[in-house]
Chains A and B, each alone.
Chain A
Amino acid sequence: MHRARHFAFGRPRAFPVVGLGGVEPWRELLLHRQLSLGRGPRDADLLVLSGEIPTDWGNTLRALFETMALPRLVLYVAPGADTDPLPGLPPGYTASSVEGIDWTLLWERLLDSQGPSARALLADQPPTPWRGRGDHGQGGEGMMGGTPYGRPMAMTMEDPDQLALDDVPTALGPHFPGLPSGLYLGLRLQGDRVRQCEGVENRFPSQSPPPGSGHREPALRARAREAVPVADLEQARLRSHLGWLADLLDLCDRPGLAMRLREARKDLDSHALRRLLDRAESRQLYYQTRNIGVISSAQARQWRLAGPVARASGLKLDTRNHDPAYRELGFQPVVERGGDVWSRCRVRIRECYQSLDLLDRAGDAHTRAPEGARGSFLDTAGGGLDTPSARNLAALQPGLAGLEWHEAVLFVGSLDLDTEEAAWR
């Protein structure tokens, strides 16, 4: 019996929550053969908290961990951070790096049915009781209204075609699998169509960029007036785009190609990458993503969008265009006119080809263009940092209105928001 259990959980399913600096450890963990990726938290075995998790996520993560079916365990992968468990979560298994994980010990803790992870964290009752004012216990004014179980009741809204149907307040995020971690979108749905996006919250704490910011680092150093090798900048861009493309392909239900991209991303083998990018940029992806979430160039200008998102709407915004080193290499910014999800995908894929090409020819050239993968890092009036992801967040609220659910998810994915970066000041 015990051996059957051990065999059954030999490849535990992981559900990720990515914190500060946690993107790279999670990507590395994804490639590990001992782990498989879970779709949602319920069926997952491991709640992987990679990077340093902000402490005010404790309540959300406690509720998330509680939805996981037993046996379950928290796996902290936090390079260099302290090893205290997050308040509210039971102690799990802590590792400072992916190589340092002792899988036997992990399995032991996972399958320990008497351990702290097996106990209930929350009381087994609804957060607020159901009680109203009516004769039969119904709530509120007359037959409608009230707050059943503490949640706002779906009221009816007048529509352009005069039908008064329900308007459901709900949320997308903050830990939706496939979308950036910490992004909370308050939506009002009608059926599966988003009427409007009420609020966009980035749950990462505001702070200045830490030293060693991974693949944003070359662009940040360029902003600080340092001369950065072109090869570094382009490699960082390539890594970022490939990671994003793999996540998007997972959302589009092509996990095979996504996994191959992730593996090729590790050592950036040019030949293999070109072949994989050819396969990714297929008619299938085109049909799946075209005409969704169109952002016109006027809107892109008005909302001050950045990077590939702006370039996909026809704006020729690229700081590399004005840089002498790039001009010498014959650089032309990649611009598309469609403004839909497909255009944004195509811009990034073409930029991958362009980066591979530049890497071959760059040699020892140095540049000062602060062009990160998501756009340029600018200075604000007060001397602070204006990150491209923060600017792109502005596209969410107006852009989501009227989209069906699957279109909304693809739209958010296509913006390639880095929530940690968006919180930098």
Chain B
Amino acid sequence: MNYGPVNWLAPPLALVLVILGVAWLAWVNRLAGDLARGRVSLETLMGPPRDMLRDLHKEFRLTERPDLALWLGAPLLLLTLTMAALTVLPLSPDWVGADSSVGVVFFTAMFALTLVAAYWAGWGPNSKYPLIAGYRFVGLMLAYEMPLAITVIAVALPAESLSVSSIVATQQAAYWNALTQPLGLVIYLLCALAVPFWGPFNVVNAPELAGGALVELSGAPKLLWRFGQYALLLTTSAFAVPLFFGGGAGPWWPAPVWSLVKILLVSGALVALGHGLGRLRLDRFMWWAWVVLIPLSLLNLFLIGLLILIWPGLAGK
């Protein structure tokens, strides 16, 4: 498949956008936390830059016989998989890294690498709390990958194509998938919280494990790990925009601007939701994923298939 000449401006631009998105999420998170505590002040504004500088000034200390390649590779892998997944995210029909014909399966495959990254973050430090955290995340992610994959296939059904751009085009010709598949949207957003282990699914940085993967991390690797987590949350929620919210569709402004605005809104909402939902038990969430979400996502798939057979206009035909 010919993707045309390489645009060497695209990767640095994408990185800049990710950094800005992560900064936005860090502030939203800080605001949500301070609202919950009832302590909104100037510190809410100063907090995220202060934490970032603090991590840069803090020393990175080794544990006894860590597996350094895996331990330091974990945040790098997290960031790499995020950037790789963003390759197929279209901000507009022209602003896309590489419009792969199987974009949807491509980014699902990239998100699967989170399993590896979280396992490395757990195995690397040679310490029991991160190890337990890593193992628990493997169990959680294997469970939540399935509803994600099935829901994403249901989204591809009206477009009859696995390419993210065709899904956006179909939505702009007909109805947004958020309207035709509300169940799918809810399932996707839940999985979008589970993949970067955020909020209710926070088994990797868990407080009952004394911080989990964060127990032995300090300094620049910790900053990179947290950055990678935010970037992954940004990415998983960013994909909800072309898949469910019609991509760059909207009046007055050009498509890329609308895409970015929607991405910021969706990711900000998910970050804030992480605070509101608190945490449920891991075994409850496993049960929810296997016994409730997978059948529901299959139901969603059948429903949308049926609807399209009955009303072809739903898919813009």
Chain A residues packing against B (C-beta within 8 Å): 4-5, 7-11, 33, 39-40, 42-43, 67-71, 126, 149, 168, 170, 176-178, 189, 191-192, 250-257, 259-260, 263, 284, 287-288, 404-406, 409-410
Contact = CB atoms under 8 A, between A and B. Distances in A.
A284 B39 CA distance: 23
B128 interface: yes
A12 to B, nearest CB: 9
Interface string B43-69: 100110010011011111100110000
Interface in B12-69: 33, 35-39, 43, 46-47, 50, 53-54, 56-61, 64-65
Contacts of B283: 404
A40 B57 contact: no
Contact of B58 (A39, A70, A168): A70
A43 B35 contact: no
B280 A287 contact: yes
Contact of B210 (A4, A176, A263, A410): A176
Interface stretch (B179-187, B214-222, B255-263): B214-222
A252 B207 CA distance: 7
Contacts of B208: 178, 251-253, 405-406, 409-410
Interface string B187-231: 000000000000000100111111100111111001000000000
Nearest to B53: A8
A2 B206 CA distance: 34
20 contacts: A5-B53, A5-B57, A39-B205, A40-B215, A67-B61, A71-B59, A177-B211, A250-B207, A251-B208, A254-B36, A256-B33, A256-B36, A256-B38, A256-B275, A259-B39, A287-B284, A288-B279, A405-B132, A406-B206, A406-B281
A5 B56 CA distance: 9
B64 A126 contact: yes
A176 B43 CA distance: 28
Contact of A69 (B43, B61, B135): B61
Nearest to B219: A69
A263 B38 contact: yes
Given A7-B50, A43-B58, A69-B219, A255 B33 contact: yes
Nearest to B33: A256
A284 B280 contact: yes
A170 B131 CA distance: 13
* The 4 residue pairs across chains A and B that have the minimum distance between CB atoms: A256-B36, A39-B211, A8-B53, A69-B218
Chain B binding surface SS class: helix
B135 A192 contact: yes
A12 B80 CA distance: 31
A272 to B, nearest CB: 10
Contacts of A5: 53, 57
A71 B58 CA distance: 7
Contacts of A254: 36, 278-279
A260 B34 CA distance: 11
Contact of A8 (B57, B61, B132): B57
B282 interface: yes
Interface string B263-282: 00000000000010111111
Interface centre among A71, A177, A192 (most CB of B within 10 A): A192
B53 A256 contact: no
B136 A192 contact: yes
B57 A9 contact: yes
Nearest to B281: A288
A40 B128 CA distance: 13
B217 A42 contact: yes
Interface in B113-166: 128, 132, 135-136
Given A5-B57, A69-B58, A40 B211 contact: yes
B37 A284 contact: no
B136 A43 contact: no
Interface of B: 33, 35-39, 43, 46-47, 50, 53-54, 56-61, 64-65, 128, 132, 135-136, 202, 205-211, 214-219, 222, 275, 277-284
B59 A252 contact: no
Contacts of B36: 254-257, 259-260
A43 B282 contact: no
A33 B53 contact: no
Given A42-B215, A69-B58, 9 more contacts: A5-B57, A7-B53, A71-B58, A177-B211, A178-B210, A254-B36, A259-B39, A287-B281, A406-B208
A40 B60 contact: no
B210 A259 contact: no
B207 A253 contact: yes
A71 B61 CA distance: 11
Nearest to A259: B37
Contacts of A33: 39, 43
Contact of A39 (B38, B128, B207, B219): B207
A409 B281 CA distance: 13
B28 to A, nearest CB: 15
A161 to B, nearest CB: 19
A160 B218 CA distance: 41
Contacts of A288: 278-281
Contacts of B39: 33, 259
Given A177-B210, A251-B208, A263-B38, A170 B128 contact: yes
B54 A8 contact: yes
B210 A39 contact: yes
Nearest to A287: B280
B214 A40 contact: yes
A43 B214 contact: yes
A149 B64 contact: yes
A15 to B, nearest CB: 10
A10 B43 CA distance: 10
A259 B209 CA distance: 20
A10 B57 CA distance: 12
B207 A251 contact: yes
Nearest to A406: B208
Interface centre among B37, B206, B210, B214 (most CB of A within 10 A): B210
Contacts of B47: 11
Contacts of A43: 58, 211, 214, 217-218, 222
Contacts of A253: 202, 206-208, 278-279
A73 to B, nearest CB: 13
A251 B39 CA distance: 20
A10 B136 CA distance: 35
B189 to A, nearest CB: 19
Contact of A256 (B37, B58, B284): B37
Contacts of A68: 61
B214 A8 contact: no
